[in-house]
């Protein structure tokens, strides 16, 4: 069968990715050199979806100003979720914008068109819904689904009971009855969840199918995951990291600079003499890498400057960051605090949120998280988590 419309859920913040999400929602965080949500749109268009209904909420201006009213000639309709009251609530807000069979998909996870296509192909109108599934060794951080001969028997969030589960890929084919089931399901802790509505369908005797796929699926839950997402996109060939073709007409790479594959560089960037960029380096638009600087295994967002002789390894930056001359981010492993939990030995050199500026000669201890608008004076050592808007003196 064919499906024309997709509801894209892009209203959430992504609190575990703070401080990067202070100024933009998780779907707009960078995967390689473009927002996660842009990859989602690409895969939907490649799967022949002809209408996008995007549920926005937190910092919705960042989504709407970036994409406008169309994407690759496919019209976009925006629906605003003023309060983040769950995926079920978001889907119900978009219900009036679709008719008949439609897709619903998470806008903050990269899911390739094969997964979408497999879900659509497996669906038929004898089922109230179909869920795309993946075989993964660990599903505890996500949703687990059990099936019997292609029919879903149970859906469990964050399962830890040792049973065999497929991973819920966050791609759903929905019939109109699925919306009604979501509407009738009691909220949990004030939130309506789409999967609870699908469980209601199952409990009422309706068929919910499971479509097992082998397509690419990547998600960023924590700051260091943004590195892994970009690296997986390189390895899967989604991002072209061939240094022989990465340079664009508006990018200046000095003859003595070295690009070590895989590398991707955005427009209007400049790589100075003697600089070494890569492997696994992602530079956004208008990034400057100074002479003899080293950048590897990092995601460097737009309008960032890396000073001469700086070393940047396993680093994630926001936009407009300034890493001064001779500053050192040596790479992980490091201990990273997310909320009240410390995650040990993660592969993160540092995370520098939007418009962090250091004046040079700064040493970052692995796992450092620096909030936006922070000014770091020369010769400082940075460790742990720094709140945004502060001035750090040596």
Give the pLDDT confidence of 136-162 residue by residue, as tens digits.
888 877 888 998 888 889 888 888 777
What mean pLDDT comes out for the span 353-364? 96
Q: Which of 187, 202, 219 is the last residue of a domain?
A: 219
Query: Does pLDDT of 164 surpass 90?
Result: no
User: What is the average pLDDT score of the chain?
Assistant: 91
Cα(128)–Cα(179) distance, rounded to whole angstroms? 10
Say yes or no: 179 and 282 in one domain: no
**What pLDDT sits at residue 248?**
58
Token pair 């000639």: residue: 73
Of 219, 253, 286, the residue at which a domain comes to its end is 219
Clarify whether residues 256 and 385 are in a common domain. yes
Q: In whole angstroms, what is the distance from residue 49 CA to residue 238 CA?
A: 19
Do 242 and 341 belong together in one domain?
Answer: yes
Average pLDDT over residues 51-59: 96
Can the peptide bond before residue 262 be classed as cis, meaning omega within 30 degrees of 0? Answer: yes
Helix (H, G, I), strand (E, B) or coil at 58: coil
Write the CB contacts of 299 (distance below 8 Å, at least 6 apart in sequence): 30, 32, 226, 227, 230, 282, 315, 316, 317
257 and 298, same domain (yes or no) = yes
Do 214 and 230 fall into the same domain? no
- Please check whether residues 49 and 154 belong to one and the same domain: yes
Number of domains in the chain: 2
* pTM higher than the cut 0.85: yes
pLDDT band (50, 70, 90) for residue 273: very high
Same domain, 81 and 118: yes
Q: Are residues 235 and 188 in the same domain?
A: no
Question: Does one domain contain both 213 and 276?
Answer: no
- Look up the CATH number of the domain holding residue 33: 3.90.550.10
Give the model's pLDDT for residue 243.
58
Tell me: pLDDT of 14 over 70.
yes
Q: Confidence band (pLDDT; 50, 70, 90) for 215?
A: confident
Residue 88's closest CA among 187, 172, 170?
A: 187
Q: Please name the residue ranges forming H helices in 74-169.
A: 87-94, 113-122
Whether 214 and 278 map to the same domain: the answer is no
CA angle 211, 50, 81 (to 5 degrees): 80
Q: What is the pLDDT of residue 238?
A: 81
Domain holding 112, by residue range, is 5-219
Query: Which pLDDT score is estimated for 281?
Result: 95
Tokens of 22: 């202070």
Question: Do 104 and 244 reside in the same domain of the chain?
Answer: no
**Cβ contact 166:145 at 8 Å:** yes
Asked if 105 and 164 sit in the same domain, the reply is yes
Q: What is the CATH number of the domain that holds 325?
A: 2.160.10.10
Cβ-based burial of 1 (10 A; exposed 0-12, middle 13-18, buried ≥19)? exposed
Quick one: pLDDT band at residue 249, thresholds 50, 70, 90? low
Rounded mean pLDDT, 340-350: 90
Structural domain ending residue among the three candidates 198, 219, 240: 219
List, for residues 168-199, the tens digit of each pLDDT value: 999 999 999 999 999 988 888 778 889 899 99
What integer pLDDT is reported at residue 187 of this predicted model? Answer: 83
Region 92-98: mean pLDDT is 94
């Amino acid at each position: 069968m064919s499906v024309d419309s997709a509801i894209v859920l892009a209203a959430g913040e992504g609190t575990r990715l703070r401080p990067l999400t202070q100024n933009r929602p998780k779907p707009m965080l960078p995967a390689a050199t473009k927002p996660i949500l842009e990859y989602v749109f690409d895969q939907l268009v490649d799967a022949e979806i002809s209408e996008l209904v995007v549920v926005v909420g937190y910092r919705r201006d960042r989504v709407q100003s970036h994409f406008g009213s169309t994407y690759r000639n496919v019209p976009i309709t925006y629906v605003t979720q003023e309060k983040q009251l769950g995926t079920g609530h978001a889907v119900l807000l978009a219900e009036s914008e679709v008719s008949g069979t439609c897709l619903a998909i998470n806008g903050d996870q990269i899911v390739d068109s094969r997964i979408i296509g497999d879900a659509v192909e497996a669906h038929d109108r004898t089922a109230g819904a179909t869920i795309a599934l993946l075989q993964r060794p660990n599903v505890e951080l996500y949703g687990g689904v059990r099936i019997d001969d292609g029919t879903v028997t149970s859906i469990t969030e964050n399962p830890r009971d040792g049973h065999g589960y497929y991973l819920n890929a966050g791609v759903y084919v929905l019939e109109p009855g699925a919306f009604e089931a979501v509407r009738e399901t009691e909220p949990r802790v004030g939130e309506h969840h789409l999967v609870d509505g699908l469980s209601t369908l199952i409990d009422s005797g309706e068929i919910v199918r499971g479509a097992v796929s082998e397509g690419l699926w990547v998600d960023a839950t924590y700051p260091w995951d943004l590195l892994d997402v970009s690296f997986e996109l390189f390895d899967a060939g989604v991002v072209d990291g061939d240094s022989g073709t990465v340079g664009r007409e508006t990018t200046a790479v000095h003859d003595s600079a070295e690009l070590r594959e895989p590398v991707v560089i955005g427009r209007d960037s400049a790589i100075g003499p003697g600089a070494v960029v890569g492997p696994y380096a992602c530079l956004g638009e208008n990034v400057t890498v100074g002479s003899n600087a080293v950048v590897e295994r990092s995601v460097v967002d737009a309008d960032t400057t890396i000073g001469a002789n700086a070393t940047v390894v396993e680093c994630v930056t926001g936009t407009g960051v300034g890493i001064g001359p001779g500053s050192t981010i040596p790479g992980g492993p490091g201990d990273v605090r997310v909320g009240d939990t410390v995650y040990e030995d993660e592969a993160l050199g540092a995370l520098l949120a939007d418009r962090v500026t250091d004046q040079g000669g700064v040493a970052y201890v692995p796992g450092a998280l620096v909030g936006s608008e922070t000014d770091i004076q020369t010769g400082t050592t940075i460790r742990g988590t720094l709140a945004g808007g502060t001035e750090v003196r040596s």
